[in-house]
Structure 1
Amino acid sequence: MKKLKVLQLTDAVGGKLDYYSEQLEVAIEGKHISETNYFLTDGNMLVDIDNDIDIEDIHIKNAMELGATIKNMFFVEDHFFSDHIYNFEAVGMWDGVEFAEEYGIVFELEDDAKRYERYVSSVQEKIEVNGYEVIEKENAIKIVEEKSLEELAKLLISKQRYKVCGSICYLDLESGVIKVDEDNCKLSEKDIIISKLYKEGMPGGCIVNGLYNYEYHYCILSGDLELDKFRKEVEKFYNAEEE
């Protein structure tokens, strides 16, 4: 991870076929972006992944006079970020850095960048267990433990249909992704259950003035969640290979 100054363009209009930004034209001296060391993100940020934007450069200064601004972002190198980012919950804004190939992601928040860097590292390190290519045991436990209980509660509630079906939250050990589905889904041996919510699992007080109070339900459910059974099942899966 590295902290970078990037140039945020504020006048960009159009899409891929008719994109235009006077600030961009000035900043890169009318060149095509491929002729420079810069990358242009979907969020209209001009990024140099090796260096900060040089605010003393006359062309950058001119772009700033036209309204472009300097932002501090945090870059994490990841040449497969499209496989990873949508399984990661960032708190702040993020943007992919790519041109013909993927290079990485810039994050608004340093904490997001640090967590993403750890996450990518954990899901890329694989071992073979019971015929599956899976993440390491310590990383499996860490991925779930770093998820807040409230986030897990929200996942469960998002799939539960009261009086119709419950929901199940589990960790896919092959991808390192926490998933949620209706409780009738079929799990494989490498899918480790984190927690379940039954179809009647709505505590008293969730209906207020005829309306369902999600925040109350999140709070109550997260207070009931515990990870001891999940940890034991993870140990059982990985230890089976040694027996």
Structure 2
Amino acid sequence: MTDVLNIAAYKFVALDELPALRQRLLDAASASALRGTILLAEEGINLFLAGDAAAVRDFVAAELRGDPRFADLEVKESWSAATPFRRLRVRIKREIIRMDRPAIRPAAGRAPAVDAATLARWLDAGRDDAGRELVMLDTRNGFEVDAGRFRGALDWRLSRFGEFPAALEAHAASLRGKTVVSYCTGGIRCEKAALLMREQGLEHVLQLDGGILRYFEQVGGRHFDGECFVFDQRVALDERLAPAG
């Protein structure tokens, strides 16, 4: 049976009164017997939760989308036979994904994105609709890339996302004139990465909307070799968004 609903979601949005928000979400998630992690920062929210399907969806509807700041929160779903988290944690952080570049503020405006179906078509052709060479840039840690990646994607062997700015500085020249699509697990890292690349003067940069999880959901495993590493007890998901192995 696969009756445990797992969700992943994030949103860059200006937040204040974080302790009160933390307590509200902690109380509601605890009351619904949800497990996982919710990260809060002044720049937004990032969460991975699992539990009974009705309880998870009620939490999303009432506690998240019921808050005007999260009304359009996009949630990615997958299923498992058991809850892949040991406990519930709601934490306040400096950033919901750490880059140490405070000038990069996605809440002020997203980088352009490409949807899964369009990307798959571009990968079929090896070029975008303008005829430019297409480069897939993996913004995840090296051990995540080792579990699976888009075929031929660039891998800068990051050990943490905070290393991305320095890696970009070292490799930016090789990306000029090409269409660069940054991608990650669920979209949060590649969104910041795309904004930084545009700030550094790269003109044709896009993020993969919703990351690998949304791509698997909408397209499957076309052009992707291996599985998608996830930071819970499932370890990796296959193209059906089921635990691999």
TM-score range relative to shorter protein? under 0.3
Larger Rg: 1
Q: TM-score, normalised by structure 2?
A: 0.26
Q: TM-score, normalised by structure 1?
A: 0.27
